[in-house]
Structure 1
Amino acid sequence: MTKALLFLSIFSSGLAFAQEDLLKDIDTITTHTDASQPAFKALQIVTGQSTKLAAKKEWYMIVAHRFGDVSAGFKDFFGLDNASTKLGVIYGISDGLSVSLSRETNMKTFEGAAKYRLIRQDENFPVDIVGYNVMGVNTEIDKDTYPHLRFSDRLSYLTQALISRRFSDKLSLQLTPSYVHKNLYEPTIEDKNQFLAGIGGRYKISKRVSVNAEYFVNFDNHSFYKNPLSLGVDIETGGHIFQLLFTNSQINSDIGYLTNASGNWGKGHIFFGFNLYRVF
Structure 2
Amino acid sequence: MKVKLFLSVAFFLSIICHVSAQDDLLKELDTIKSKEKQTETLGFKGLQICNMQSTKLTAKGEWYVLISHRFGDLTEGFENFFGLDDAYTKLGAIYGVTNWLSVGASRQTNNKIYELTLKYRLKTQEVDGFPVTIVGYNTMDINTNLSTDQYPNLQFNNRLAYTTQLLVSRQFSDKISLEINPIYIHKNLYDETTERKDQFAVGLGGRYKFTKRLSMNLEYAPRINAPESEVYHNLLSVGLDIDTGGHIFQMVFSNCQTMNDVYAFSNATGKWNGGGIYFGFNLYRVF
| Unmatched tracts of structure 1, length 5 or more | 1-33
Query: Distance between the aligned counterparts of 1:158 and 1:207, measured in 2?
Result: 33
Which residue identity is paired with 2:86?
Answer: N
Partner of 2:44: 40
SS at match of 2:89: strand
Q: Which runs of 4+ in 1 moved over 4 A?
A: none
Q: 2:56 aligns with which of 42, 52, 55?
A: 52
CA displacement 1:25-46 (0-9 Å, x = unmatched): xxxxxxxxx7422310100001
Cross-structure match for 2:94: 90
- Residue of 239, 243, 264 corresponding to 2:246: 239
Instruction: Tell me the distance in 1 between the aligned counterparts of 2:226 and 2:41.
Output: 38
Match of 1:227 among 227, 234, 242: 234
- Give the counterpart letter for 1:41 in structure 2: K
Partner of 2:174: 169
Structure 1's 78 and 273: CA in aligned 2 closer, same or farther, altered over 3 A?
same
**Structure-to-structure mapping, 1:240-279, within 5 angstroms:** 240-279=247-286
- Indicate yes or no: 2:188 matched with 1:183: yes
2:222 is aligned with 1:217: yes
The residue aligned with 2:28 is none
Select the structure with the greater relative contact order (CA < 8 A; seq sep ≥ 6).
Answer: 1
- Does structure 2 conserve the Cα–Cα contact (< 8 Å) formed by 1:35 and 1:166? no
- For residues 107-122 of structure 1, the aligned pairs below 5 Å read 107-122=111-126
Instruction: Tell me which residue corresponds to 1:157.
Output: 162
Q: TM-score, normalising length from structure 2?
A: 0.84
- Per the alignment, in what secondary structure is the counterpart of residue 75 of structure 2? helix
Corresponding residue pairs, total: 247
- Alignment check: 8 A CA contact 2:199 2:226 kept: no
Residues 254, 278 of structure 2: 8 Å contact kept: yes
SS of equivalent residue, structure 1 residue 266: coil
Q: Deviations over 1:76-133 (max 9, x none)?
A: 1100110011000000000000000000101110010100000110021100000001
Q: Tell me the CA shift for residue 74 of structure 1.
A: 1.3
Larger Rg: 2
AA at the equivalent of 1:250: Q
Distance 2:51 2:202 in 1: 15
Question: 2:226 and 2:110 mapped to 1: Cα distance?
Answer: 25
Q: Which residue of 1 aligns with 2:210?
A: 205
CA distance in structure 2 between the aligned counterparts of 1:252 and 1:131, rounded to whole angstroms: 19
Structure 2 equivalent of residue 143 of structure 1: 148
Kindly provide the CA deviation profile for residues 227-255 of structure 1, in whole angstroms up to 9, marking residues without a partner as x: 01000000000200100010000001121
Aligned to 1:5: none
Match of 1:126 among 123, 131, 144: 131
How many percent identity over aligned positions? 55
Q: Secondary structure at the match of 1:258?
A: helix
Q: 2:13 maps to which residue?
A: none
User: Which TM-score applies when normalising by structure 1?
Assistant: 0.87
User: Equivalent residue of 1:218, what SS?
Assistant: coil
Matched position secondary structure for 1:230: strand
